Amino acid sequence: MKTAITILSIALAASLAFGQGRGQRGGGAGEQAAPAPAPNLNLPAGDAKRGETYYAKYGCWECHGYTGQTGNGARLATTALNANGFVNYIRSPRTNQMPLYSAKVISDQDGADLFAYIKTFRKPPEAKDIPLLQQIINEK
């Protein structure tokens, strides 16, 4: 009986460790599910001023900070996504990365506006351009 419980415990632990649990995306160990191609949304031009309003309304600042460089979320100031990729991502984010915002919640126009606002964020300075960091490095 103890052997059966031990085997079941190991099987359960392995299943969870390799993402075989219910609700997980992708395949098992060593397998990668092919990502679904993102649809081309033919987004309208975005308005950064309206996007600033949506950034506050939808609470984006809570995870990404007011400048897109702070908080627990991804650094938006340096995103490599284009507007289409951004809107597709907020509609279908990776599991447990951020809330899902359907087209009923954030329309194509709202998404384009949000992206236009995010593109106004200044990129952080290079490490070499931060005097205090350089002072710390040079002291060693």
The full set of domain ranges for the chain reads 48-123
Return the residue matching tokens 């632990």. Answer: 13
The tens digit of pLDDT for each residue in 42-87 reads 788 899 999 999 999 999 999 998 888 888 888 888 888 898 888 9
Query: From CA 103, how far away is CA 87, in angstroms rounded?
Result: 9
Is a pLDDT exceeding 90 seen at residue 109? yes
Q: Which residues, in sequence order, are CB contacts of 122 under 8 Å at separation 6+?
A: 67, 77
User: pTM score, two decimals?
Assistant: 0.62
Mean per-residue pLDDT, 113-118:
94
Structure tokens at 124: 């952080």
Q: What is the pLDDT of residue 73?
A: 84
Number of H helices, E strands in the chain: 6, 0
Q: What mean pLDDT value characterizes the chain?
A: 76
CATH architecture assignment, domain 48-123: Orthogonal Bundle (1.10)
Residue 82 · residue 107 · CB < 8 Å? no
Query: From CA 101, how far away is CA 110, in angstroms rounded?
Result: 11
